[in-house]
Amino acid sequence: MSRDQKLKEDWEKLLNILTVKFGEGEQLNLDAIIYLIGVQELGKGVTEYKKDDKVNLMHIAICRLLEPFGYYEFDFFDNDGWPHYKVLEELPALKPGEQTVLIKEAIVLYFKENELI
């Protein structure tokens, strides 16, 4: 089985699990999954977040997701408990499709590490 085919199968499996658990009858999109990862990484549970906080949650998720690929490294928690990351390597210029593949691969890896799939 090719790497792309395995990623596609793992992504579909993960998408089904997350949609059943969090989708309220609708399939989750990539941004919703990134947001959920941000909430998980912050560790404060589900609560009402302001718009700026939601953007920051997605940033936390992206940093955490790309950490195993060598782009970011956890740095510290601030006084409010928010994690901060430092850039280790700038992301290469990727086409939109390549960005999607990279982030899906990172999400699948994240959930495998957390033993969801």
DSSP string across 47-95: ----HHHHHHHHHHHHHHHHGGGTSEEEEEE-TTS-EEEEESSPPPP--
pTM of the entire predicted model:
0.91
Mean pLDDT value across residues 59-83: 97
Q: How confident is the model at residue 1 (pLDDT cuts 50, 70, 90)?
A: low
Tell me how far apart the terminal alpha carbons of the chain are, to the nearest angstrom. Answer: 18
Q: How confident is the model at residue 96 (pLDDT cuts 50, 70, 90)?
A: confident
Per-domain boundaries in the chain: 3-113
Structure tokens at 95: 């086409």
